[in-house]
Structure 1
Amino acid sequence: MTQQWVAKNNLDLIGMLEPRIHLVNIQAVEKGPGLHGWKFISNESQHPLCRILIGWNTKKVTTSLVSFASQWITCDVVSLLDCRRIRVTMVYALNTPTQRKSLWNYLGDQHANGNQDSWVVLGDFNATLSLADRHGGDGNWYGHMDDFQNCIHSAELMQIPSKGLHFTWHNGQQHDRTILRKLD
């Protein structure tokens, strides 16, 4: 299925969030999608189960690891066709506001370090930017909920417009217990 999706969308770089792979199974999983000529990196050494897996087509791009932790992997990706370079940070944020602070600090520091390459940050931030990105559940906006927006502002990032469903997470409940969030 992964191989078909990659081929259909002509992808040369992919990121998988929360694959929940045990360290002993990483190599088997990397071979499983049938993506010949691809290499993978993960942050499995930072968490008991791999949280982020990034793969790239070695015939089209080179990828070098810049930084990784339990909530992110940052790579520099260079096209072999035209030598264009882009920095990619794939995020799978932890669940609590306190745990996410190191992610917000990291993203702010990356901007402050003055990287001149184009930079894309994508993934699951486990946080919402505004009240419009929340439906159901606790309607209060707590102080820690400003952390994500402050991070986006200080790192001078901007949200790419999306198509499709606005909410990316559903709590699986029905009727008045339904909670929806835009976390990606």
Structure 2
Amino acid sequence: MANVENGLGLSCWQFVSNMHHGHLCRILVCWNSKRVSVTIIHTASQSVTCDVLSKTDGSSIRVTFVYGLNLPVDRRALWSYLTSQKLINISIPWGILGDFNAIVSSRDRRGGDQHWHTHMDEYPSCITQAELIQISLSGMHFTWDNGQHGEHSILKKLDWA
């Protein structure tokens, strides 16, 4: 990880990852320490939560960066964490963003299996329980594709803020 951080060539920047939760770094958070102060609140295999304080105007926000695991059963810990944070973060601005590896509704996919499986209700349920709202989208709707073309193409909207 030190080689990656040094290779970026960003002076005055600091880094934190969730690498200690598995053999891969799924999330790397980087910030310019001259502009903001960052306090890590929680790290897990699918998320990093931190408080970000602006050194310019003193404003602050809590941010959770997400990279959901591939299997639906493995994402349940993420859904549980996000819903549990609702009351904890009720009095502060809280932003959540990343690749959730799940879709909110059937319009967030094109191609592939068109059935709505029971486990697919877990992500929309998490959003409802945590009382989250999506930031308006601009640009392309689908954020992931399987790299195939024609009838084998699958598109999904997995990124969300």
Same fold (TM over 0.5): yes
1:9-36 Cα offsets, whole Å, 9 max, x none, are xxxxxxxxxxxxxxxxx11111212211
In 1, the alpha carbon distance for the partners of 2:75 and 2:122 equals: 9
The alignment status of 1:140 with 2:102, answered yes or no, reads: no
SS state at 1:54 partner = strand
User: What do the CA deviations read for 1:75-117 (whole angstroms, capped 9, x no partner)?
Assistant: 0000011111100100000011100000000000011324421
Q: Are 2:8 and 1:44 equivalent residues in the alignment?
A: no
Quote the Cα distance in structure 2 between the aligned partners of 1:126 and 1:49.
Answer: 16
Is 1:152 the counterpart of 2:127? The answer is yes
Moved over 2 A (4+): 112-115
In structure 2, what is the Cα distance between the partners aligned to 1:152 and 1:63? Answer: 26
**SS in structure 2 at match of 1:110:** helix
- CA deviation after TM superposition for structure 1 residue 148, in Å: 0.6
One-letter amino acid of the structure 1 residue matched with residue 49 of structure 2: T
Which residue does 2:62 correspond to in 1? 87
By how many angstroms is 1:174 displaced? Answer: 1.4
Note if 1:130 corresponds to 2:110.
no
Give the Cα–Cα distance (whole angstroms) in 2 for the partners of residues 103 and 49 of structure 1. 17
The CA RMSD measured in Å over matched residues stands at 0.9
What fraction of aligned residue pairs are identical, expressed as a percent? 50
Gaps of 5+ in 2: none
Aligned counterpart in structure 1 of residue 42 of structure 2, from 39, 48, 67 = 67
Amino acid at match of 1:84: S
5 Å-filtered alignment, 1:1-184, equals: 26-184=1-159
Matches of 1:51 and 1:183 in 2, distance apart? Answer: 15
Aligned to 1:17: none
2:115 partner SS? coil
* Unpaired segments ≥5 residues, structure 1: 1-25
Structure 1: how far apart are the matches of 2:123 and 2:148? 26
3-state DSSP of counterpart to 1:162: coil
SS of 1:158 mapped into structure 2? coil
Aligned-partner Cα distance in 1 for 2:20–2:91? 29
**One-letter amino acid matched to 1:176:** E
Q: Distance between the aligned counterparts of 1:80 and 1:44, measured in 2?
A: 28
